[in-house]
């Protein structure tokens, strides 16, 4: 074993479209979602740990505050699955350098789990295919396989059955971050409350959105952005409506609460519009921070070894 550690870079995501079906008898919702990986990354370092230490998890970076460092963390769970499944005898030390918001609807925890799976495959020379890596990721949550795949894709079922989407061009995003997260289960529960008594159709892909991606048409994509959880997120966090209004006022092509929120993603036309909106959001007093990112980008991949 010549390598003692690897560093895996994993992207955050935005949901360009999220269609949520009714609550099933098993307590889950059937989903159809269109993911896009964007250039806001966590770096996951996986290395051999000292004998007898088990799984050690540490975190640093601008969004690391409040990240659990115990067995409740998806990155820890990913390491545990890999150790058990492949009967690995070495202990592992994992460090998360975080830039993706926590509990922000951008799959930061899932991205870290994806990084651990890819990192342990590389470190222990398991030789797994991308499909095999994604199947392991699906056991941890619907967003983990996409963290491995990257690009632009449709997720079906619980979001974990991935199909790549034919997408042309690149897209510029301005992301309004919140100073505190939203719990995904609470957003789904609020969605169910708001829909109570209504007839909810099975989820489906947005044809206008897929056509816009195929054509590389940012203006049409902006019009087609949709999220069935947005009303629930805004109900729990009314200030999100003010954030969305700022984006519309400053000419965003489209705006959407990402996933379960509270991050709000604005699709913009060019660098000048991105800068104008960044300044407006930063001075509005209604956001915790603002970052810019491009998409689509790659999934989890090794950037260095040591």
Q: Is 24 a catalytic residue?
A: no
Give the Cα separation of 11 and 99 in Å (integer).
9
If asked whether residues 101 and 24 sit together in one domain, one would say yes
What stretches of 86-129 show up as alpha helix (H) in DSSP? 108-123
Instruction: Tell me, yes or no, whether 113 lies in a domain.
Output: yes
**Range 87-114 average pLDDT:** 94
If asked whether residues 12 and 161 sit together in one domain, one would say yes
CATH number of the domain residue 90 falls in: 3.30.230.10
Give the Cα separation of 34 and 32 in Å (integer).
7
Instruction: Read off the pLDDT band of 131 (50, 70, 90).
Output: very high
If asked whether residues 208 and 103 sit together in one domain, one would say no
| pLDDT tens-digit map of 105-129 | 999 999 999 999 999 999 999 999 9
Higher pLDDT, 25 or 209: 209
If asked whether residues 138 and 225 sit together in one domain, one would say no
All residues at 6 or more sequence positions from 140 whose CB lies less than 8 Å from its CB, including other chains: 74, 77, 78, 81, 110, 113
Instruction: Tell me, yes or no, whether 305 lies in a domain.
Output: no
Domain closes at, from 165, 195, 222: 165
If asked whether residues 185 and 260 sit together in one domain, one would say yes
- The pLDDT of residue 193: 97
If asked whether residues 181 and 134 sit together in one domain, one would say no
- The pLDDT of residue 28: 87
Confidence check: pLDDT of 1 > 60: no
Q: Is 77 a catalytic residue?
A: no
CATH number of the domain residue 209 falls in: 3.30.70.890
Give the Cα separation of 145 and 129 in Å (integer).
12
Q: Tell me what the pLDDT averaged over the chain comes to.
A: 95
Domains in the chain: how many in total? 2
**Range 272-278 average pLDDT:** 95
If asked whether residues 224 and 113 sit together in one domain, one would say no
Contact criterion met (CB below 8 Å) for 297 and 11 = yes
- The pLDDT of residue 3: 85
Give the Cα separation of 98 and 106 in Å (integer).
12
Q: What are phi and psi of 171, to 5 degrees?
A: -130, 145
Sheet holding 264-268, edge to edge: 254-257, 264-268, 171-177, 289-295
pTM score above 0.95: no
Confidence check: pLDDT of 297 > 70: yes
Higher pLDDT, 1 or 245: 245
What are residue 18's DSSP bridge partners? 33, 227
Nearest Cα residue to 122 out of 92, 100, 153, 98: 92
The one catalytic residue in 13, 77, 97, 273 is 13
**Range 229-241 average pLDDT:** 96
If asked whether residues 142 and 60 sit together in one domain, one would say yes
The one catalytic residue in 112, 121, 143, 160 is 143
Domain closes at, from 140, 165, 190: 165
Instruction: Read off the pLDDT band of 90 (50, 70, 90).
Output: confident
| Domain range enclosing 208 | 171-295
């Amino acid at each position: 074993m010549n390598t003692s550690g690897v560093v895996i870079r994993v992207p955050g995501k935005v949901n360009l479209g999220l269609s949520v079906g009714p609550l099933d008898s098993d307590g889950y919702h059937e989903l159809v979602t269109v993911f896009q990986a964007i250039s806001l990354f966590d770096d996951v370092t996986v290395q051999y740990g000292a004998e007898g230490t088990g799984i050690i998890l540490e975190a640093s970076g601008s969004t690391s505050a409040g990240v659990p460092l115990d067995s409740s963390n998806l990155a820890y769970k990913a390491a545990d699955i890999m150790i058990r499944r492949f009967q690995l005898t070495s202990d592992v030390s994992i460090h998360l350098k975080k830039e993706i918001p926590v509990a922000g609807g951008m799959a930061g925890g899932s991205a870290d789990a994806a990084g651990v799976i890819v990192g342990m495959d590389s470190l222990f020379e398991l030789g797994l295919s991308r499909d095999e890596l994604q199947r392991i990721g699906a056991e941890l949550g619907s967003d983990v396989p996409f963290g491995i795949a990257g690009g632009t894709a449709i997720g079906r079922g619980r979001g974990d059955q991935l199909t790549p989407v034919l997408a042309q061009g690149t897209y510029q995003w301005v992301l309004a971050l919140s100073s505190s997260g939203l719990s995904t289960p609470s957003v789904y529960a609020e969605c169910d409350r708001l829909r109570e008594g209504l007839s909810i159709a099975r989820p489906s892909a947005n044809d206008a959105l897929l056509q816009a991606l195929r054509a590389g048409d940012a203006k049409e994509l902006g019009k087609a952005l949709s999220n069935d959880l947005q009303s629930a997120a805004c109900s729990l966090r009314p200030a999100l409506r003010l954030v969305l209004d700022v984006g519309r006022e400053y000419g965003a092509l489209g705006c959407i609460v990402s996933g379960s929120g509270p991050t709000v993603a604005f699709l913009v036309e060019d660098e000048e519009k991105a800068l104008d909106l960044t300044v407006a959001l930063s001075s509005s007093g209604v956001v915790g921070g603002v970052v810019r990112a491009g998409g689509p980008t790659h999934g989890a991949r090794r950037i260095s070894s040591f």
